[in-house]
Amino acid sequence: MNIMDFNVKKLAADAGTFLSRAVQFTEEKLGQAEKTELDAHLENLLSKAECTKIWTEKIMKQTEVLLQPNPNARIEEFVYEKLDRKAPSRINNPELLGQYMIDAGTEFGPGTAYGNALIKCGETQKRIGTADRELIQTSALNFLTPLRNFIEGDYKTIAKERKLLQNKRLDLDAAKTRLKKAKAAETRNSQLNSARLEGDNNMVNFSYMLNFLHVKWLKIWAEEVTKSEQELRITQSEFDRQAEITRLLLEGISSTHAHHLRCLNDFVEAQMTYYAQCYQYMLDLQKQLGSFPSNYLSNNNQTSVTPVPSVLPNAIGSSAMASTSGLVITSPSNLSDLKECSGSRKARVLYDYDAANSTELSLLADEVITVFSVVGMDSDWLMGERGNQKGKVPITYLELLN
């Protein structure tokens, strides 16, 4: 029974406090009550914390979009995270593309130039997919997690203490208002006691009765002065204490910025590692595929040529195109020189090639043959010779030797 009485009294007290705060807040908004302003330093700290929270949320969300462009996948990961379960492993886009390329190359035949190139490209895409997965994991651990911890941890604590400071301020201003009213009542009481009444005795007696009741009511307010002053001292002390707690928390924002700076450096380093790996993978792939001239001839008994863009821009550097082990990578100018001269040259075969008809010569990768030009032959072909075998060979499959 006592516990129930205590709970009822506590509930009533809380309701009274809430009502008092609501009245004070409403009167402030209507301009009918004074408001205690926070000091400029504390206001600046609050503004800095709010700004940090807003931009941290924006950076965090956009980083998640960068690392995982698929919104459905992000929602799925969020649900698994809230359920405290590990999300199932999912193949990413580069890995999927790589698998398609490998399957296509296997279907076309690893012995063909196109099939072999597809398999090599697919393997490179899979390596890029692995690097992409490592980038996501590293960025999530070293960058996104600290940002999320700030939003869901430190800032929530700051917001809680800030709300408590707002409530303490409302209590302080409400106490100031009650003290002001009590002092006004005390002043009015003293004025009524000093007033002198004149006239008919009955009217005088009636007036005295009214004044007596009025004074009694006013004395209640007068008695509130001492109580209100004491309450004001208590609320002022609680407000100052809460302001100091809030200030100490807000001053930690500078440390948060320093921590986020270190996390940002880790994120940049992870990106740098990722892009360096991708660049190296593509550089190795280019070396495997060789240097393609401006035209590429199809394997499938077609006579038309399809232009092929450069694998990497000139900015990649000449190192990827440099000669190695005494070999000179075939270029259009070298082939033009060979077409114009009447002599023969040695050439290494870059890819396997299956002859489409009896006029062509089948080739095996890495074998060395003799090539020479024939007057009237198509510009994309040379005459190849291996022992007693002769036939046309596509120049895109050859690498001239010094």
The Cα 2–Cα 365 span in angstroms is: 96
pLDDT attached to residue 192:
54
Q: Looking at per-residue confidence, does 137 or 1 come out higher? A: 137
Report pLDDT digits (tens) over 288-337.
887 443 344 334 444 333 333 333 334 333 333 333 333 334 444 455 55
Torsion over CA: 100, 106, 110, 112 (sign): negative
Least confident of 174-188, 241-255, 274-288, 326-340: 326-340
The reported pTM is 0.61
- Sorted by where each begins, the domain ranges of the chain are 21-192+209-291, 345-400
The Cα 170–Cα 178 span in angstroms is: 12
What tokens does 212 get? 């007596």
Average pLDDT score over the chain: 78
Q: Looking at per-residue confidence, does 200 or 137 come out higher? A: 137
The Cα 341–Cα 142 span in angstroms is: 62
Q: Considering the chain, what percentage of its residues have pLDDT values greater than 70? A: 72
The Cα 372–Cα 344 span in angstroms is: 4
Q: Mean per-residue pLDDT for 33-60?
A: 91
Helix (H, G, I), strand (E, B) or coil at 399: strand
Asked if the model's pLDDT at residue 239 lies above 60, the reply is: yes
Q: Are 178 and 224 in contact (CB under 8 A)?
A: yes
pLDDT attached to residue 75:
77
pLDDT attached to residue 332:
46
Q: Looking at per-residue confidence, does 17 or 10 come out higher? A: 17
Asked if the model's pLDDT at residue 33 lies above 50, the reply is: yes
The Cα 234–Cα 179 span in angstroms is: 13
User: 345-400 domain in CATH 3.30.460.20?
Assistant: no
Asked if the model's pLDDT at residue 131 lies above 50, the reply is: yes
Asked if the domains 21-192+209-291 and 345-400 are classified in one and the same CATH topology, the answer is no
Residue 175 binned pLDDT confidence (cut-offs 50, 70, 90): confident
First-residue to last-residue Cα distance in the chain: 106
State the architecture of 21-192+209-291 in CATH terms. Answer: Up-down Bundle (1.20)
DSSP letter at 395 equals: G
pLDDT attached to residue 292:
42
The Cα 221–Cα 205 span in angstroms is: 25
Residue from 48, 246, 248, 253 nearest 163 by CA: 246
Report pLDDT digits (tens) over 96-130.
999 999 999 999 988 888 998 999 999 999 999 99
Q: Looking at per-residue confidence, does 15 or 338 come out higher? A: 15
**18-27, 250-259, 280-289: which is most confident:** 250-259
Q: Considering the chain, what percentage of its residues have pLDDT values greater than 90? A: 40
What tokens does 293 get? 């001239």
Strands 305-307, 344-349: pairing is unpaired
Q: Is 31 left (phi over 0), alpha (psi -120 to 50) or beta?
A: left
Q: Which long-range contacts (CB under 8 A, 24 or more apart) does 264-267 make?
A: 264/143, 266/138, 266/142, 266/143, 267/63, 267/139, 267/142, 267/143
Asked if the model's pLDDT at residue 256 lies above 50, the reply is: yes
Cβ neighbours for 148, distance < 8 A, ≥ 6 positions apart:
60
